[in-house]
């Protein structure tokens, strides 16, 4: 048995043969991972018909012009009614933010939404996500052993950019893998 190695702050990149359609071509940032569970956010799936401006307007939060057209993402299939703000750690909420990885933070409070819309005092980069991906004890490790996911370093440029259609292939390219050459068949040597 190998020693536990946390994937917190790293990216999971779905292999083509993944059996779960909810994660086809997914790029997921692991925000928390220990020997009992893992929590991640999918970075490449905009929520259809939802913009950050609309969410902020519904919550009577002042909107900076820059927030207008930004997408809201589907972070995963668990608790899709719950919002999370993934952001740079140049802004955090003292009691509510989870800092992790290289300069990243996750906050699930309303003040994080207000901070997103504040170009002067808010985080320099941020994304609103609905829901998350979660794994129970040993589940993620088993999926890694079954070659369902590849792992790579988290690149802020990839995490926060809005080119969602190519995020998966660019994450693979960062690993030196050409998406067109990957087989959807998995196996073990």
Model confidence band, residue 54 (pLDDT cutoffs 50, 70, 90) = confident
Dihedral sign of CA atoms 171, 175, 178, 181 in order = negative
> Which residues touch 134 (CB under 8 Å, ≥6 apart)?
37, 38, 39, 40, 76, 78
Q: What are the structure tokens assigned to 47, written together?
A: 């929520």
Average pLDDT over residues 96-105: 95
45 within 8 A of 73, measured Cβ to Cβ: yes
Contact (CB, 8 A) for 72 and 129: yes
Task: Give 136 or 68, the one with higher predicted confidence.
Answer: 136
pLDDT for residue 94 is more than 80: yes
Contact (Cβ atoms closer than 8 angstroms) between residue 89 and residue 105: yes
Chain segment 102-130, per-residue pLDDT in tens = 999 999 998 999 898 888 889 999 999 99
Average pLDDT over residues 159-178: 93
Per the CB < 8 A criterion, the answer to whether 113 and 127 are in contact is no
Residue 139 and residue 101 in contact, taking contact as beta carbons nearer than 8 Å:
no
Using only C-alpha atoms, the chain has a radius of gyration, in whole angstroms, of 17
Task: Give 3-state DSSP helix, strand, coil % of the chain, rounded to 5.
Answer: 25, 30, 45
pLDDT of residue 3 exceeding 60: no
């Amino acid at each position: 048995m190998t020693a536990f190695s946390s994937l917190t702050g790293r990216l999971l990149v779905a292999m083509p043969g993944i059996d779960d359609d909810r994660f086809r071509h997914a790029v997921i940032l692991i925000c928390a991972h220990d020997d009992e569970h893992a929590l991640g956010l999918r970075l490449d799936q905009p929520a259809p018909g939802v913009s950050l401006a609309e969410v902020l307007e519904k919550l009577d939060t002042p909107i900076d012009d820059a927030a207008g057209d930004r997408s809201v993402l589907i972070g995963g299939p668990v608790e899709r009614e719950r919002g999370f703000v993934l952001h740079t750690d140049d802004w955090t909420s003292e009691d509510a933010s989870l800092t992790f990885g290289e300069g990243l933070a996750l906050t699930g409070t309303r003040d994080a939404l207000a901070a997103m819309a504040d170009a002067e005092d808010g985080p320099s980069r941020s994304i609103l996500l609905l829901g998350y991906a979660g794994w129970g004890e040993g589940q993620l490790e088993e999926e890694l052993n079954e070659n369902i996911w590849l792992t790579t370093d988290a690149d802020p440029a990839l995490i926060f950019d809005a080119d969602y259609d190519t995020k998966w292939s660019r994450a693979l390219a960062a690993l030196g893998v050409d998406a067109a050459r990957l087989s959807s068949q998995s196996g073990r040597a």
